[in-house]
Amino acid sequence: MAIKTNKAIKISQKHLLGIQDLSINDVNLILDEAKDYIKLNQSSNKRTDILKGKTQINLFFEPSTRTQSSFELAGKRLGADVMSMNISNSAIKKGETLIDTAMTLNAMHPDIIVIRHQDSGACNLLSQKVNCAVLNAGDGRREHPTQALLDALTIITRKKKIEGLRVAICGDIVHSRVARSNIYLLNMLGAEVNIIAPTNLMPKEIEKFGVNTFTDMKKGLKDCDIVMMLRLQNERMTSSYLASNREYYEYYGLTQDKLDHAKPDAIIMHPGPMNRGIEIDTVLADDINKSVIKEQVELGVAVRMACLKIFCK
């Protein structure tokens, strides 16, 4: 991760649809830009006018607290006009298709659209139909690029590097876009990735992504620098994946005895929202020496500001 790039390098993509599409230069460009905003966000006057006169539309088809507010705040701090569409009151409820919604919004000349959708590939479809840049805030199970970028920034802030670190991603991998984006990004930045999940929650042929897979959490956590826990996505579970939450916690919930297999200075991450007592022990989640969960949220705003600035032409 030590590769320091020239800031003059431009982003290679028009849209931010997924980590898969980014080059290492793109990633470094975004992370470097984000670092500048960390300090700004901690100061008393957080407002700039970098995106003054630009219009940002947030289109969230799925409920979201942190990502939506993070994007909204990021846009406002850059001085953009931010509009968040309330889907439950919109024409989509009346049967309008995604493409028609896109065309309608496009006619209002936004500079950037941030979209979250329950279907994988929805942002790709949108990007083909609008003139402005599209930022993916999570599509189905496919990608959640800004989450992976903020996770990377959090790791760099704590560990000063990513290359050579061993990262465990544990939990409901099959339903997780966060896992997929993180796998791509961590691989790109030179980390070793361990995936830990029961077979029912492990995506098919995930090992072809260049990761190690474990069904035994203790083995998977061995000597890890980073422990990334994922939320059990009960709302996406259509048939019996697990016997019970109780049993899941027993074998895959992060507890101190399991964490002891990781390195002593390992840090704990979670994209939120957390199911305390299911995937993570509540004491560990709140342990300020180990858990960086709040820091992830903080850096999330900085990363999204960087993305908005870079992709908003």
Q: Please give the biggest Cα pair distance in the chain.
A: 56
Structure tokens at 161: 């590097």
Least distance between other proteins and beta carbon 151 (Å): 18
* Cβ-based neighbour number of residue 123 at 10 Å: 30
Which is nearer to other proteins, 34 or 178 (by Cβ)? 178
Subset of residues 248 to 307 that bind other proteins, contact rule: CB under 8 A: none
For the chain, the distance separating the N- and C-terminal CA atoms, rounded to the nearest angstrom, is: 27
Active-site residue list = 66-67, 94, 116, 144
Q: Tell me which of 11, 16, 98, 305 binds other proteins, using CB under 8 A.
A: 98
Least distance between other proteins and beta carbon 197 (Å): 13
Least distance between other proteins and beta carbon 243 (Å): 18
The residue ranges of DSSP E strands in 160-266, in sequence order, are 166-170, 192-196, 212-214, 226-229
177 contacts other proteins (rule: CB under 8 A): yes
Burial class (CB in 10 A: 0-12, 13-18, 19+), 297: middle
Nearest in space to 135 (alpha carbons), one of 295, 13, 253? 13
Subset of residues 223 to 252 that bind other proteins, contact rule: CB under 8 A: 238-239
Give the whole-angstrom CA distance, residue 155 versus residue 162: 7
Which is nearer to other proteins, 55 or 182 (by Cβ)? 182
**CB-hemisphere CA count at 13 Å for 143?**
20
Which is nearer to other proteins, 117 or 231 (by Cβ)? 117
SS3 for 167? Answer: strand
Distances (CA, A) of 104 to 86, 93, 150, 232: 15, 15, 31, 36
109 contacts other proteins (rule: CB under 8 A): no
Which is nearer to other proteins, 37 or 60 (by Cβ)? 60
**CB-hemisphere CA count at 13 Å for 95?**
0
125 contacts other proteins (rule: CB under 8 A): yes
Q: Tell me which of 10, 94, 208, 264 binds other proteins, using CB under 8 A.
A: 208
Q: Judged by CB under 8 A, which stretch of 141-149, 192-200, 249-257, 300-308 contacts other proteins? A: 141-149
Q: Judged by CB under 8 A, which stretch of 133-141, 190-198, 218-226, 250-258 contacts other proteins? A: 133-141
In the complex, the residues that contact other proteins under the rule CB under 8 A are: 20, 97-99, 117-122, 124-125, 139-143, 177, 180, 203-206, 208-209, 238-239
